[in-house]
Amino acid sequence: MKKFNHYIEIIGNSDTYKTPKTGSALLPTLNFYSKLAYVIYHSSRMAVKGVYDDIQWPNTSLQILHGLESVGVNIEIDGMKNFQSFNTAAIFVANHMSTLETMILPGIIHPVKPVCFVMKEELVEYPFFGAVSGVRDPILVGRDNPREDLMKVLQDGAERVSRGKSVIIFPQKTRSSNIDVASFNTLGIKLAKKNNVPVIPVAIVSDAWSNGKVIKDYGRINPAKTVYISFGKPIYINGNGTDEHQMVIDYIKDKFIFWDRKDLIKE
């Protein structure tokens, strides 16, 4: 893998991005995962050596994005000006549909706003991928005790924000092909309120990379489905955050309806 000493591109400097021209491939799932395995293997080697840094992470993220495009997946992104419009950190609150968003969001956001994920502790124990996740300053939660998770996110999140780092949080209990409104927690809202930084709602349709039946991270790649990512305007928290929490949910639901994917909304 070529070792870059700068960003290969900064998608987040624009407001929108659309795959200019997709490739096509026989056996797109097999073709893509061969590319992904290469990226993850070399990323994990860099992580072990201590050189998987703020340049390498988004660069390899964009390699994965372009790997998807090379097998025929179209990707459309909009609203990126909404996280360029202020200088502080932000809390990105997104629905979580598949592995895709965890792989490509760093390439979109990090060159503009340094970012980290809230993620399950078990993910840093995965072979190869765990080494990559562990060195990127994640906030780790257990998901067994909501009260402990809340305190961990508020404490560690405040520390990250104090260093100018934004946080990506998925408020659903687990990855889901549907938006189950009832499963959205308010961790992101609470973290934003505590640190007086805005929430950026993020709507994501990523079922072009389906969840696997045997290994959830690795399902079928379906180029017939377009990947949509939309960043909303910054929301500052007033009062107890109830209204702002609903604003995030409404933004995501409205985008799904706009993308003609209302079938994925579970009330």
Give me the amino acid identity at 10: I
- B/e letters for 130-164, b = 16+ CB within 10 Å, e = fewer, are ebbbbbbbbbbbeeeeeeebbebbbebbeebbeee
| pLDDT-derived band at 38, boundaries 50, 70, 90 | very high
| pLDDT-derived band at 123, boundaries 50, 70, 90 | low
Whole-prediction pTM: 0.92
| pLDDT-derived band at 124, boundaries 50, 70, 90 | low
d(CA 101, CA 8): 19
Extract the tokens encoding 253: 């639901």
E strands, the chain, are 17-18, 75-78, 91-94, 115-120, 139-141, 166-169, 179-180, 199-205, 227-231, 265-266
Tell me which of 49 and 83 has the higher pLDDT. Answer: 83
Q: What pLDDT score was predicted for residue 227?
A: 97
Q: What pLDDT score was predicted for residue 88?
A: 95
d(CA 241, CA 236): 9
pLDDT tens-place string over residues 130-139:
667 777 888 8
Judge contact between 13 and 82, C-beta under 8 A.
no
pLDDT tens-place string over residues 194-252:
999 999 999 999 999 987 676 767 789 999 999 999 999 999 999 999 999 999 999 99
What are the structural domains of the chain? 75-126+136-262 (3.40.1130.10)
Q: Which of 66, 59, 75, 61 shows the shortest CA–CA distance to 230?
A: 75
d(CA 78, CA 15): 6
